[in-house]
Amino acid sequence: MRLFFSAVILMATSWGAQACPDYQLWGNERHELSGSQLYTPQRFNVTAGGQYNLENCGLRAHNWTGPMPGYVIGKPDFSITINGIKGYQLEFRVESQCDSTLLINTAGTNWYFDDDDNGNADPKIRLTRPGGNGIYDIWIGTFDGSQCNAQLIVETF
């Protein structure tokens, strides 16, 4: 009986771990770029949206208060390794055909979120002092759980 309950608890824990963004997983796409390369905006196509409601994940973003609205997939859409970022501002923005959201886990493992700062119901996050070289994991979600075509634009200033 004890073995059965242990198996149920283990399965529930495993399912729960899959229900929120996990920056320890590699993104569906992986790229390696430098701060100077990003001085020319880089565009990446993606399908925005996912099945996991961010409001249920308990994540805390540095630039957002309260629950984060939106639905994303579990592993990042993109894992972008960025080197030579010192002295640059780093911007991530989305252009989409729906009400999209943007979630980022920086190289310093800090969470950032946005819903509409790029206008037209699209998100934008500008890191004025990026945490440094390393992997930036990015999720492109949607406000209501639907899916749509979108583009992630990454640029330095």
Work out the burial of residue 20: count CB atoms within 10 Å of its CB; fewer than 13 is exposed, 13-18 middle, 19 or more buried.
middle
pLDDT at position 123, please? 98
Query: Cα(135)–Cα(149) distance, rounded to whole angstroms?
Result: 24
Pick the CATH number of 21-156 from 2.60.120.380, 3.40.50.1110, 2.30.30.30, 3.90.660.10: 2.60.120.380
DSSP per-residue string spanning 48-82: E--SEEGGGS----TT--SPPP-EE-SS-SEEEEE
pLDDT at position 19, please? 75
Domain boundaries, the chain: 21-156
Is-contact 43 96, C-beta < 8 A? Answer: no
Q: What is the pTM of this model?
A: 0.88
Successive 10-residue mean pLDDT values, the chain, 157 residues: 38 51 96 98 98 95 94 98 97 98 96 97 96 95 97 98
pLDDT at position 21, please? 96
